[in-house]
Chains A and B, each alone.
Chain A
Amino acid sequence: MDGGVNTLLSRNLPTLSILVFLGIWQGLAIFLHSSLLPSPENVAYVFWKHCQSGELPYHLGVTLLRLLVSFTISMLLGCIIGITLGRNEKLNAFFDHWLVIFLNIPALVTVILCYVWFGLTESAAILAVVLNKVPNVVVMLREGTRALDKDLLNMAKCYQFGRIKTLRHIILPQLHPFLMSATRSGLALIWKIILMVELLGRSNGMGYQLHLFFQWFDIASILAYTVAFVGVIQLLELALLKPLDNLALKWR
């Protein structure tokens, strides 16, 4: 009997935890009774209104498109540079300092400089995001490449695998965990920077909308947009990243 209650509890734990979170939020909203902390139902209502007007889907879509483009470019560039540096001691010794510099430039600085140098354009916005993300991917993939199993690489060389076959069958499967963590941390980092990029120099997207709501002190709308974004990111995790994980880790 006790065990039955336990399994029931653990199975419904996520739902329970979200309900408790909403409960605390609702309690605080009632207790404070201020327009600065709208209640969950209020936020839900505003969310629905924004969805109906088509405003929220449009701006969310624009932001997601930017996310997709800048993420793809950053991952591709980061992988190429990271694997190259990981496999070449001399190149790595030279570019290591550059990497440290780029890693430590604050995101805001890159964004401002890109806008100043290239104008308030879409490509400048994407470039700013990419410049912020690439060094992270490079560092992760470089560590992954350094940790590659030398014996397996020797095996591939001895059996004359060639470059593409080695990359596909020996290197990429070993880099998979590093790629996944670069992807996860990448998504988290990029969407935060994109909001900043939009806030500073675009006339659409989530960041732009949040900026407007901030000026109007429209907290309910800010929270509604936040909920939408968190939901989308969770959906990405569940629908895309988890299955990718499971697919590649079948052998474990």
Chain B
Amino acid sequence: MTTVHIQIHEKTHHGTKIPTIENFELTLNAGEFVCLVGQSGCGKTTLLNTIAGLDANYSGAIHVANKTLNPKISFVFQRPCLLPWRTVRENIELVFANQNVISKKHIDELLALMQLTAYENAYPKQLSEGMRRRVSIIRAFAINPDLLLMDEPFVSLDAPMAREVSELLQHLWQKRPHTVLFVTHDLREAIALADKLVFLTSRPMRVLKEINVSIARNQRNSKNVENFREQLIQNYPELQPLL
């Protein structure tokens, strides 16, 4: 379990004048599930890419687990990003840095939690889109990351399937808590999942407000989520454009 500290002074995309991210600062406590809420295109994906080390072209510092070099970071992308030429199990096993220390039992448990045991030898093409998302979530949990990044992992799923995967994710995270940074533009989804909501401004992106979700985890049904959302709108009129 690790604290994550993110500080980005400036991140400007090549060929643009306005910075995408400016004076951004965020701290994640160990084992905390944090949801970033912001409008589409405000720079959330860019932020995750810089944290994941996919984009090193920024000024600032990111500390994960008190390490600036090579922290273990998992990423659940908007697309499942599975290798079509590997089976479900092979896809999960492939992300282990040392192929000799793969714990079969550990993966078995994750597959069972995500209800995919029967499909471990299937190829991604044989699965539904929702199942593929679940595989990519298992893959992210499998390496016990210092930080788990999720970039709208339920986007482009239909509503019932998104809810199903979201519930499975909550279930999995409660069994195996990790520090999670979850990006979404759907406030209801965020309230259902998060310990802490972080609202973001549009470009240049910075933190507008941090709000803790006070509903107990076992009481996050759609009614309570909706009440919490309405309360937010009443209490924080400045968040109106985001809600």
Contacts and interface: CB of A to CB of B under 8 A. Distances in A.
Q: Do A and B bind each other?
A: yes
Interface of A: 151-152, 154-155, 157-160, 169-170, 173, 248, 251-252
B174 to A, nearest CB: 24
B54 A158 contact: yes
Interface stretch (B4-12, B24-32, B71-79): B71-79
B96 to A, nearest CB: 9
Given A159-B95, A160-B97, A251 B54 contact: no
B27 to A, nearest CB: 22
B243 to A, nearest CB: 30
Contacts of A154: 49, 52, 54, 75, 77, 81
The B interface is mostly helix, strand or loop, or mixed, namely loop
Contacts of B54: 154, 157-158
B70 A151 contact: no
Interface residues of B, number: 21
B83 A152 contact: yes
Given A154-B54, A154-B77, A158-B52, 19 more contacts: A151-B77, A151-B79, A152-B83, A154-B49, A154-B52, A154-B81, A155-B75, A155-B81, A157-B53, A158-B73, A158-B74, A159-B75, A160-B97, A169-B83, A169-B94, A248-B85, A251-B85, A251-B86, A251-B125
Contacts of B125: 251-252
B94 A158 contact: no
Contacts of A160: 70, 97
B86 to A, nearest CB: 8
Contacts of A158: 52-54, 73-75
Interface of B: 49, 52-54, 70, 73-75, 77, 79, 81, 83-86, 94-95, 97, 123, 125, 143
Given A157-B54, A158-B52, A159-B95, A170 B73 contact: no
A151 B81 CA distance: 7
B77 to A, nearest CB: 6
Contacts of A173: 83, 85
Contacts of B97: 160
A159 B74 contact: yes
Contacts of A170: 83
6 contacts: A151-B81, A154-B75, A159-B75, A173-B83, A248-B85, A252-B125
